[in-house]
Amino acid sequence: MARSFFPWMAAFSLVALLLPACSSTSPGGVRGGGTFFRVPSDLVWEKDVFVGQKGRAITHCWVAGKWVLLETADHFLIGLGLEKGNAYFEVEAREALAFPPSADGDRVAFVTSGRLVLLEGPTGRVLVDHRLQFLPAGSPAIVKDSLYLATLDGNRVVAFSARTGREGWSWRSKLGSPLFGPVACHVQGGGGGLAEALDSGGVVGLPALSAEVAGPREPLWTARQLGPGGGGLEVSGDTVYLASSDTRVYALAGGTGMVLWTFPAGAACLGRPSFSAGKLFVRTRRGTFCLDPQGGRKLWKLSGDLAFLACANKAAYLVSRGGMLVKVEPSTGEILENYPTPGVFWARNVTDPTLVGATRHGHVMAFRP
């Protein structure tokens, strides 16, 4: 069930709450949950998604492709355009999302503990609503006419038709249970592929075959001599990056699985690596690293429990567990400013150079350093 946004919902602005107002040289502020806090100066748009709707609350904020996606406490998914904050759709998810949603162009996919849903982003029209017979292990991947999910039970990667939602082929791992993935990547011959991390250590590459044909019997490649993929996978171009729980970061050729480089982080990686503004960011138990993605060279490190948010040419942003927004110089890691931001859900691991946050009460803000 989808709800429509009306023009009056976009009329409310946070500008009246800025003390002082945002400018190009000095930070402004907003009020979230009754607490005033400073924000970066480069505000590009703001939106109140709950105008006239009392008692509703935001619980999560993500950026996927060209979409800002907001999960609400009453189990709806709200979609805004990343570029200008235009309101596009509000769809009932019925239960909490199990993992962050995915996007491919206009299409948005999400998974709960029992459902796989594919939406047409501009309208919120539901294209697929499939009742799952297994527990998902991670976010869905969208490649052309198919959706792909890894399972917690049965060590499988399963393909679904993006047209009908019908379950197609499944590939069963003999090496270990899938983790988090799969993620879409390039393979030999220029076709679409999937990379999947395993809890036993290593990554496998699969062809992204249509759900309407016979599935693969064997993986295209297997990279075995790697640590467990407890952190997760990220793909940029033809390269797959693995943040391992064995304290190392690996770069693999997406077409062959060949290890291109290894970086010793010195501590277990937490969460998937993030590629943004030509840099690779990896969070570990001892701090966050910024790496050169070409050769794995360390550019800088910040100690403490900091999660990467977004990066542009002028600034990178991270956030602490306590909600402290940290602005750093992206080439050196020098801390430029700190912003206490109580009650803000910041979108993490954003590839686009846009910082997006939302308060519990529905105030959504986007900044571009």
From the centroid of its chain, how far is CA 186? 19
The residue among 312, 319, 309 whose CA lies nearest residue 350 is 309
| Distance (Å) of CA 293 to CA 43, 303, 307 | 29, 20, 18
Q: What is the pLDDT of residue 38?
A: 64
Sequence-separated (6 or more) residues with CB below 8 Å from residue 362: 48, 49, 50, 53, 56, 57, 58
| Distance (Å) of CA 186 to CA 62, 260, 273, 276, 351 | 25, 15, 18, 19, 18
DSSP secondary structure letter of residue 214: -
* First vs last C-alpha separation in the chain: 37
Task: Copy the structure tokens of residue 140.
Answer: 């869905």
- What pTM does this model have? 0.88
| Sign of the torsion angle spanned by Cα atoms 287, 292, 294, 295 | negative
Per-residue pLDDT of the chain (369 residues; tens, 9 = 90+): 455 333 333 333 333 333 233 333 334 555 544 444 566 668 899 999 998 898 899 999 999 999 999 999 999 999 999 999 999 999 999 999 999 999 999 999 999 999 999 999 999 999 999 999 999 999 999 999 999 999 988 889 999 999 999 999 999 988 778 877 788 887 655 568 999 988 877 899 999 999 999 999 899 999 887 877 667 899 998 899 999 888 899 999 998 999 999 999 999 898 889 999 999 999 999 899 999 999 999 999 999 999 999 998 889 999 998 899 999 999 999 999 998 998 899 999 999 999 999 999 999 999 987
Q: What is the pLDDT of residue 291?
A: 98
Under a CB-based contact definition with an 8 Å cutoff, are residues 254 and 206 in contact?
no
Q: Give residue 11's identity as a one-letter amino acid code.
A: A
Task: Copy the structure tokens of residue 51.
Answer: 């105008």
| CA–CA dist 272, 281 (Å, integer) | 9
Q: What is the pLDDT of residue 26?
A: 35
Exposure on the CB side of residue 20, measured as CA atoms within 13 A? 6
Q: What is the pLDDT of residue 34?
A: 46
